[in-house]
Amino acid sequence: MLTIRRAAERGHANHGWLDSFHTFSFANYYDPAHMGFGALRVINDDRIAAGRGFGTHGHRDMEIITYVLDGAIAHKDSMGSGSTIQPGNVQRMSAGRGVMHSEFNPLSDRETHMLQIWIEPDVAGIAPEYEERSFSDEQKRGRLQALVSADGVDGSMKIHQDARLYGGLFDGDESAALELAAGRRAWVHVARGSLTVNGVELSAGDALAITGETRVELSDGKNAEVLVFDLA
C-alpha cells in the first residue's frame, strides 16, 4: 500500500527565527493520524535564521539524526562534543539516559536548512553517544547510500534500532531500487527537487509511506535529494 503525505499537509510553526514543518506530531502540532511511522517519530524540516538557533536543552532515550541541506549548524553537548555540521555531513546522537545540547546557525549572512530526525531506540537508559560522518555526493549519486543502521552496513553509523536510513541524489535517467524484506516498511522523504517513487510523483517536502510492498523504486529525478527509511 502506498500512502502519500504531501508537504502542504504537514504541521507548520513559524517562530520568526525558525520556520519549521513537522511531518509527524511535534510540539504544538498534534495530529493523531500522524504520530510516527514504526520507530520513526520525527522529521522536522527546519530553516534557521542567520546567527540564531536552539539554546541548551535536553533529550533522553532517542536516536537523533541531523541532516544539513544548506548552510551549517554548530553543535555543542554535555558529552564534550562540538562540531559545525555542513551539507554532506550527517550527525548521529543517541540521547540515552540524558544529554544536554545546543544547535545554532553560525553563519551571519544566510539561513540554514536542515532536517532533524528522531528514531525511537530499542533500548533505554544507555550512556549517550555522539558521532558524525561525511558522505560525499559521489557516494549518493544515482544510488542509495546507507547513512545510519543497526549494523553499520556500507560505512553507515550505528543506531540502537532495527532501522536503516539511506540518502540518495537523482537526476535525469538515474534510478535505484531498495528491496524490502517480508514485514518491512519504508518511508520516503523528498528533501529537495522531485522524483517518482513506486509510480508516485513527489516534490520537495512530500513523503510516501510504503507498506506490504517488496521494493522501493526511485526514478525520474529532477535535482532530487531523497531520504529512504527501511523500518520494521
Q: Tell me what the mean pLDDT of segment 186-205 comes to.
A: 98
CA distance 116 to 114: 7
pLDDT of residue 27: 94
Maximal CA-CA distance, the chain: 49
Question: To which residue does cell 543506531 refer?
Answer: 159
Give me the chain's average pLDDT, please: 97
Domain 137-231: CATH class, spelled out? mainly beta
Looking at domain 11-134, which of 3.40.50.2300, 2.60.120.10, 1.10.10.10, 1.10.730.10 is its CATH number? 2.60.120.10
Sketch the domain layout of the chain as residue ranges: 11-134, 137-231
Give 216-232 pLDDT, tens digit per residue. Answer: 999 999 999 999 999 99
pTM over 0.85: yes
Give 178-187 pLDDT, tens digit per residue. Answer: 999 999 999 9
Give 126-138 pLDDT, tens digit per residue. Answer: 999 999 999 999 9
CA distance 30 to 144: 32
Q: Sorting pLDDT into bands at 50, 70 and 90, what band is 170?
A: very high
Q: Tell me what the mean pLDDT of segment 67-76 comes to.
A: 96
